[in-house]
């Protein structure tokens, strides 16, 4: 039976995620030739060619895709085992706040991964709007807060840069001679501000047709055909679509996703959850959500 060395599998995952052997070498503290040699050893171990030329870059063969899939699972189990051993001595509680966009898509994975590694830590999660989460962080009611579009500070980590898009129902119909129907949060809301500024700059009339204190309520309003919303495609419900070129809507910028901490000296429990959050969300956000363009 062949045993695949975890060091070779980790190098494979790092090379693919970082975009090449050169970047992987920097991240792993090795030379590029050493990384190339490791990948040759891995190919010898599995008895298959894992890479193929694609322009100036490398791409995976079918065998490479299979090995990469298993490598990710093996690395996740390896890292969870190490975290679980270290986490036996970690106890306490962590108060976490995050946007409603991640309540269904990110939160279950984060909590499950963290609970397996740190069963003695109690996590209290609050799902709410940016403004509420930041206020609670400043009041000392949260230890960690994941928020959109906030400025850098010493205790924050940038997790991702996400596109902002127009989102509507599957069969959205709109004539540019009419005001654009919008489904938005009440202010303050950076997405609302971005939408109105973009429309005003483009000279497109608009009207607010529906508002709700919850993102689930806004999604329901869009699904009901009351109007469209702007958001990141992360957590996009299956019954909604990104509105692309046929509608000629203004192009929108991207928004940063940052993890803020209440203190620069976190407890071991807070530090562990922060590490799991960053790792899980970085992986999650790196996989683009399906855009599923609508038909005009």
Q: Is 200 in the same domain as 59? A: no
CATH of the domain at 201: 3.40.190.10
Rounded mean pLDDT, 131-139: 91
Query: Is 44 among the domain residues?
Result: yes
Q: Is 152 in the same domain as 270? A: yes
Question: What's the CA gap between 271 and 97, in Å, rounded?
Answer: 15
Output phi, psi for 196, to 5 deg.
-65, -40
- How does strand 121-127 pair with strand 92-98? parallel
Q: Is 189 in the same domain as 48? A: no
Q: Is 133 in the same domain as 100? A: yes
**pLDDT, position 289:** 47
CATH of the domain at 22: 1.10.10.10
152 confidence band (pLDDT: 50, 70, 90): low
**pLDDT, position 85:** 67
Distances (CA, A) of 19 to 31, 56, 177, 178: 15, 12, 46, 46
Q: Are 184 and 229 in contact (CB under 8 A)?
A: yes
Query: Which stretch, 3-7, 83-87, 291-295, has highest mean pLDDT?
Result: 3-7
- Cα 269–273–277 angle (5° rounding)? 170
**pLDDT, position 288:** 46
The last residue of a domain, from among 60, 86, 112: 86
Query: Is 1 among the domain residues?
Result: no
Q: Is 200 in the same domain as 239? A: yes
Residues of the domain holding 69: 6-86
Q: Is 73 in the same domain as 117? A: no
Residue with the bigger pLDDT between 126 and 120: it is 126
**pLDDT, position 296:** 41
Going by C-alpha positions, the residue among 280, 284, 278 that lies closest to residue 234 is 284
Question: What's the CA gap between 103 and 283, in Å, rounded?
Answer: 16
Question: What's the CA gap between 167 and 189, in Å, rounded?
Answer: 16
Question: What's the CA gap between 271 and 258, in Å, rounded?
Answer: 15
pTM of full prediction above 0.75: no
Domain count, the chain: 3
211 confidence band (pLDDT: 50, 70, 90): very high
Query: Is 157 among the domain residues?
Result: yes
The last residue of a domain, from among 51, 86, 121: 86
Q: Is 143 in the same domain as 268? A: yes
Q: Is 75 in the same domain as 208? A: no
Q: Is 76 in the same domain as 187? A: no
Rounded mean pLDDT, 200-204: 94
pLDDT digits (tens, 9 = 90+) for 25-74: 888 888 989 999 999 999 998 999 998 877 767 789 999 999 999 998 88
- Cα 62–66–71 angle (5° rounding)? 140
């Amino acid at each position: 039976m062949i045993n695949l060395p975890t060091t070779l599998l980790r190098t494979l995952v790092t090379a693919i995620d970082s975009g090449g052997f050169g970047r992987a070498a920097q991240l792993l503290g090795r030379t590029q030739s050493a990384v190339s040699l490791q990948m040759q050893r891995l190919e010898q171990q599995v008895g298959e060619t894992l890479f193929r030329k694609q322009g100036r870059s490398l791409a995976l063969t079918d065998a490479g895709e299979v090995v990469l899939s298993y490598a990710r699972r093996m690395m996740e189990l390896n890292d969870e085992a190490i975290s679980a051993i270290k986490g036996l001595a970690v106890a306490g509680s962590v108060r976490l706040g995050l946007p409603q966009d991640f309540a269904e898509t990110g939160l279950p994975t984060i909590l499950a991964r963290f609970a397996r590694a740190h069963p003695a830590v109690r996590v209290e999660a609050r799902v709410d709007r940016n403004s509420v989460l930041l206020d609670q962080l400043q009041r000392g009611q949260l230890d960690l807060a994941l928020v959109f579009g906030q400025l850098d500070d010493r205790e924050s980590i940038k997790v991702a840069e996400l596109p902002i898009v127009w989102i509507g129902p599957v069969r959205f119909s709109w004539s540019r001679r009419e005001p654009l129907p919008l489904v938005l949060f009440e202010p303050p809301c950076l997405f609302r501000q971005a939408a109105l500024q973009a429309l005003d700059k483009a000279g497109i009339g608009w009207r607010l047709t529906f508002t709700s204190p919850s993102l689930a309520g806004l999604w329901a309003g869009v699904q009901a055909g009351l109007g469209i919303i702007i958001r990141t495609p992360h957590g996009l419900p299956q019954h909604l679509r990104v509105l692309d070129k046929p509608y000629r809507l203004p192009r929108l910028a991207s928004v940063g996703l940052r993890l803020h901490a209440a203190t620069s000296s976190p407890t071991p429990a807070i530090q562990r959850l922060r590490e799991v959050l960053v790792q899980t969300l970085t992986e999650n956000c790196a996989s683009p959500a399906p855009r599923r363009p609508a038909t005009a």
